[in-house]
Protein backbone atom coordinates (compact mmCIF):
# COMPACT_ATOMS: atom_id res chain seq x y z
CA UNK A 1 0.00 0.00 0.00
CA UNK A 2 2.79 2.46 0.93
CA UNK A 3 4.66 1.52 -2.21
CA UNK A 4 1.66 2.47 -4.33
CA UNK A 5 1.31 5.82 -2.55
CA UNK A 6 4.99 6.61 -2.98
CA UNK A 7 4.82 5.63 -6.64
CA UNK A 8 1.74 7.82 -7.16
CA UNK A 9 3.46 10.75 -5.42
CA UNK A 10 6.56 10.41 -7.60
CA UNK A 11 4.41 10.06 -10.71
CA UNK A 12 2.44 13.16 -9.70
CA UNK A 13 5.64 15.17 -9.25
CA UNK A 14 6.93 13.99 -12.60
CA UNK A 15 3.70 14.74 -14.46
CA UNK A 16 3.35 18.08 -12.71
CA UNK A 17 6.80 19.08 -13.96
CA UNK A 18 5.87 18.23 -17.54
CA UNK A 19 3.61 21.30 -17.79
CA UNK A 20 6.63 23.60 -17.61
CA UNK A 21 8.51 24.70 -20.70
CA UNK A 22 10.68 21.93 -22.12
CA UNK A 23 14.24 21.73 -20.85
CA UNK A 24 15.34 19.58 -23.77
CA UNK A 25 15.87 20.88 -27.30
CA UNK A 26 16.25 18.85 -30.47
CA UNK A 27 18.47 19.87 -33.38
CA UNK A 28 18.05 18.12 -36.74
CA UNK A 29 21.73 17.97 -37.68
CA UNK A 30 21.01 16.52 -41.13
CA UNK A 31 18.65 19.32 -42.09
CA UNK A 32 21.06 21.86 -40.64
CA UNK A 33 23.90 20.45 -42.76
CA UNK A 34 21.69 20.41 -45.85
CA UNK A 35 20.32 23.94 -45.48
CA UNK A 36 23.65 25.49 -44.48
CA UNK A 37 25.36 24.03 -47.57
CA UNK A 38 27.82 22.03 -45.49
CA UNK A 39 26.45 18.70 -46.67
CA UNK A 40 27.48 19.59 -50.22
CA UNK A 41 30.89 20.90 -49.07
CA UNK A 42 31.49 17.68 -47.13
CA UNK A 43 30.33 15.57 -50.05
CA UNK A 44 32.65 17.46 -52.43
CA UNK A 45 35.65 17.00 -50.11
CA UNK A 46 34.93 13.27 -49.69
CA UNK A 47 34.40 12.80 -53.44
CA UNK A 48 37.66 14.56 -54.28
CA UNK A 49 39.53 12.51 -51.68
CA UNK A 50 37.93 9.25 -52.88
CA UNK A 51 38.92 10.06 -56.47
CA UNK A 52 42.53 10.83 -55.44
CA UNK A 53 42.73 7.61 -53.43
CA UNK A 54 41.27 5.61 -56.34
CA UNK A 55 43.87 7.10 -58.69
CA UNK A 56 46.64 6.09 -56.28
CA UNK A 57 45.23 2.58 -55.97
CA UNK A 58 45.00 2.15 -59.74
CA UNK A 59 48.61 3.32 -60.13
CA UNK A 60 49.74 0.90 -57.44
CA UNK A 61 47.78 -1.92 -59.06
CA UNK A 62 49.43 -1.22 -62.42
CA UNK A 63 52.88 -1.12 -60.79
CA UNK A 64 52.34 -4.41 -58.97
CA UNK A 65 50.96 -6.05 -62.13
CA UNK A 66 54.03 -4.87 -64.07
CA UNK A 67 56.33 -6.38 -61.43
CA UNK A 68 54.55 -9.74 -61.63
CA UNK A 69 54.64 -9.67 -65.43
CA UNK A 70 58.36 -8.77 -65.38
CA UNK A 71 59.01 -11.70 -63.08
CA UNK A 72 56.94 -13.92 -65.36
CA UNK A 73 59.00 -12.82 -68.38
CA UNK A 74 62.17 -13.98 -66.60
CA UNK A 75 60.91 -17.55 -66.32
CA UNK A 76 62.78 -20.22 -68.22
CA UNK A 77 61.02 -22.23 -70.88
CA UNK A 78 59.58 -24.43 -69.46
CA UNK A 79 59.57 -22.81 -66.00
CA UNK A 80 60.96 -24.76 -63.10
CA UNK A 81 58.84 -25.58 -60.11
CA UNK A 82 60.92 -23.18 -57.99
CA UNK A 83 60.32 -20.35 -60.50
CA UNK A 84 56.58 -21.06 -60.46
CA UNK A 85 56.57 -20.99 -56.64
CA UNK A 86 58.44 -17.68 -56.64
CA UNK A 87 55.99 -16.22 -59.14
CA UNK A 88 53.03 -17.44 -57.08
CA UNK A 89 54.62 -15.97 -53.96
CA UNK A 90 55.21 -12.61 -55.66
CA UNK A 91 51.61 -12.59 -56.92
CA UNK A 92 50.30 -13.37 -53.44
CA UNK A 93 52.44 -10.62 -51.85
CA UNK A 94 51.26 -8.13 -54.50
CA UNK A 95 47.63 -9.11 -53.87
CA UNK A 96 48.00 -8.64 -50.10
CA UNK A 97 49.67 -5.26 -50.60
CA UNK A 98 46.92 -4.10 -52.89
CA UNK A 99 44.28 -5.31 -50.44
CA UNK A 100 46.06 -3.53 -47.56
CA UNK A 101 46.24 -0.33 -49.61
CA UNK A 102 42.49 -0.60 -50.35
CA UNK A 103 41.72 -1.06 -46.66
CA UNK A 104 43.93 1.89 -45.76
CA UNK A 105 42.17 4.05 -48.38
CA UNK A 106 38.77 3.05 -47.00
CA UNK A 107 39.90 3.86 -43.47
CA UNK A 108 41.31 7.22 -44.61
CA UNK A 109 37.99 8.09 -46.25
CA UNK A 110 36.00 6.98 -43.19
CA UNK A 111 38.23 8.93 -40.80
CA UNK A 112 38.00 12.03 -42.98
CA UNK A 113 34.19 11.81 -42.93
CA UNK A 114 34.21 11.49 -39.14
CA UNK A 115 36.61 14.42 -38.81
CA UNK A 116 34.51 16.66 -41.07
CA UNK A 117 31.35 15.81 -39.09
CA UNK A 118 33.16 16.59 -35.83
CA UNK A 119 34.40 19.93 -37.19
CA UNK A 120 30.86 20.82 -38.25
CA UNK A 121 29.40 19.93 -34.86
CA UNK A 122 32.13 21.85 -33.03
CA UNK A 123 31.45 24.98 -35.07
CA UNK A 124 27.65 24.70 -34.72
CA UNK A 125 27.71 23.91 -30.99
CA UNK A 126 28.07 27.49 -29.68
CA UNK A 127 25.17 28.63 -31.86
CA UNK A 128 22.95 25.76 -30.76
CA UNK A 129 23.89 26.49 -27.15
CA UNK A 130 22.96 30.17 -27.54
CA UNK A 131 19.56 29.35 -29.05
CA UNK A 132 18.86 26.74 -26.36
CA UNK A 133 19.78 29.12 -23.53
CA UNK A 134 17.59 31.87 -25.00
CA UNK A 135 14.67 29.43 -25.02
CA UNK A 136 15.33 28.23 -21.46
CA UNK A 137 16.52 24.78 -22.51
CA UNK A 138 19.51 23.15 -20.97
CA UNK A 139 20.01 20.00 -23.07
CA UNK A 140 20.30 19.77 -26.87
CA UNK A 141 19.89 16.36 -28.47
CA UNK A 142 20.93 15.77 -32.05
CA UNK A 143 18.08 14.35 -34.08
CA UNK A 144 20.05 12.08 -36.37
CA UNK A 145 16.98 9.95 -37.14
CA UNK A 146 18.58 7.11 -35.19
CA UNK A 147 18.37 8.39 -31.64
CA UNK A 148 15.32 10.63 -31.25
CA UNK A 149 12.10 8.72 -31.81
CA UNK A 150 9.68 11.64 -31.38
CA UNK A 151 10.38 15.35 -31.11
CA UNK A 152 7.58 17.84 -30.54
CA UNK A 153 7.79 20.97 -32.71
CA UNK A 154 8.15 23.27 -29.69
CA UNK A 155 11.46 21.70 -28.71
CA UNK A 156 12.95 21.70 -32.22
CA UNK A 157 15.52 24.51 -32.48
CA UNK A 158 16.76 23.62 -35.97
CA UNK A 159 15.23 26.65 -37.72
CA UNK A 160 16.60 29.02 -35.08
CA UNK A 161 20.10 27.55 -35.37
CA UNK A 162 19.93 27.73 -39.16
CA UNK A 163 19.04 31.41 -38.84
CA UNK A 164 21.81 31.88 -36.27
CA UNK A 165 24.53 30.45 -38.54
CA UNK A 166 23.22 31.89 -41.81
CA UNK A 167 25.76 34.74 -41.66
CA UNK A 168 28.57 32.71 -40.09
CA UNK A 169 31.31 31.20 -42.23
CA UNK A 170 31.88 27.58 -41.24
CA UNK A 171 34.97 25.96 -42.72
CA UNK A 172 35.81 22.31 -42.99
CA UNK A 173 39.42 21.34 -43.54
CA UNK A 174 41.25 18.13 -44.19
CA UNK A 175 44.17 17.33 -41.91
CA UNK A 176 46.78 18.46 -44.42
CA UNK A 177 44.50 19.96 -47.07
CA UNK A 178 45.30 16.94 -49.19
CA UNK A 179 45.26 13.18 -49.25
CA UNK A 180 47.76 11.14 -47.32
CA UNK A 181 49.79 8.78 -49.44
CA UNK A 182 48.30 5.28 -49.23
CA UNK A 183 50.82 3.54 -51.40
CA UNK A 184 52.51 0.59 -49.74
CA UNK A 185 55.99 -0.60 -50.56
CA UNK A 186 56.25 -2.77 -53.65
CA UNK A 187 56.92 -6.47 -53.22
CA UNK A 188 60.56 -7.46 -53.27
CA UNK A 189 61.84 -9.43 -56.20
CA UNK A 190 61.88 -12.99 -54.91
CA UNK A 191 64.12 -14.44 -57.60
pLDDT at residue number 129: 92
Domain ranges of the chain: 22-165
Q: Which residues of 13-47 are buried (b: 16+ CB within 10 A; e: fewer)?
A: eeeeeeeeebeebbbbbebbbebbebeebbeebbe
Question: What are the pLDDT tens digits along the chain (191 aa)?
Answer: 445 445 444 544 455 555 555 588 889 988 999 998 889 989 999 999 999 999 999 999 999 999 999 998 988 889 889 989 999 999 999 999 999 999 999 999 999 999 999 999 898 999 999 999 998 888 888 877 677 777 778 888 989 999 988 888 877 877 665 443 333 333 444 44
- Which CATH architecture group holds 22-165? 2-Layer Sandwich (3.30)
> Is residue 183 within 8 Å of 60, Cβ to Cβ?
yes
Q: What's the angle, vertex CA 86, arms to CA 80 and CA 89, rounded to 5?
A: 140
Write the pLDDT tens digit of every residue in 135-190: 888 888 887 767 777 777 888 898 999 998 888 887 787 766 544 333 333 344 44
d(CA 58, CA 52): 10
d(CA 176, CA 178): 5
What ranges make up the beta strands (E) of 54-159? 139-142
Calculate Rg over the CA atoms of the chain: 28
pLDDT at residue number 174: 76
Q: Is the pTM of this model over 0.85?
A: no
Amino acid sequence: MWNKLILLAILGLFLGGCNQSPAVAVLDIGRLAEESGLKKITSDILTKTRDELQTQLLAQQAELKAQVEAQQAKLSDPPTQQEMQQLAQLSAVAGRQLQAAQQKANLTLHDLGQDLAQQFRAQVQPHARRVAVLRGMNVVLLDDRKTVLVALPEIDITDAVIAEISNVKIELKTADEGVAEVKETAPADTK
